[in-house]
Structure formats: C-alpha cells, structure tokens
Amino acid sequence: MRSGMTLQNRDIELLIFLGKYKIIALDNARYIYETKTYQEKRIVLLAKYDYVRRLKHRYTH
C-alpha cells in the first residue's frame, strides 16, 4: 500500500476492471462506485498516488 491512501473495496473493483480491460470511461466508472459524481474524486486521488493514469481525449465532428 502506498502511504497516504487507503484503497476502498470499490477502488479495488476498479483496479481489477482496469487490469482486465485496460481502460474505462469516467461515465462508466460511476457503475462501479454507484454514484453520479463521487467516482471522479476517487479517480483523481488514485491518479495522484499512481494507481491509475488518466487519459484525456477530445472528440470533434
């Protein structure tokens, strides 16, 4: 465990998902965390402690 952060069960579920599929959209992470907005805060924290890496994509028409 990295100092300063305690993984919650849903964080572990997310990491297992990412281990299998390699990527998840932020909108879809809400199904793991079962909230509408909390998942973004957790993912920012997971990125801060190097558990995940956030990718930024922009789509244009």
Q: What is the pLDDT of residues 37-48, one digit of tens each?
A: 899 999 999 999
State how far the Cα of 20 lies from the Cα of 59, in Å rounded to an integer.
25
- pTM as predicted: 0.81
DSSP of 1-44, one letter per residue?
--TT----HHHHHHHHHHHHHS---HHHHHHHHTSSSHHHHHHH
What local confidence, expressed as pLDDT, does residue 31 receive? Answer: 94
State how far the Cα of 52 lies from the Cα of 26, in Å rounded to an integer.
12
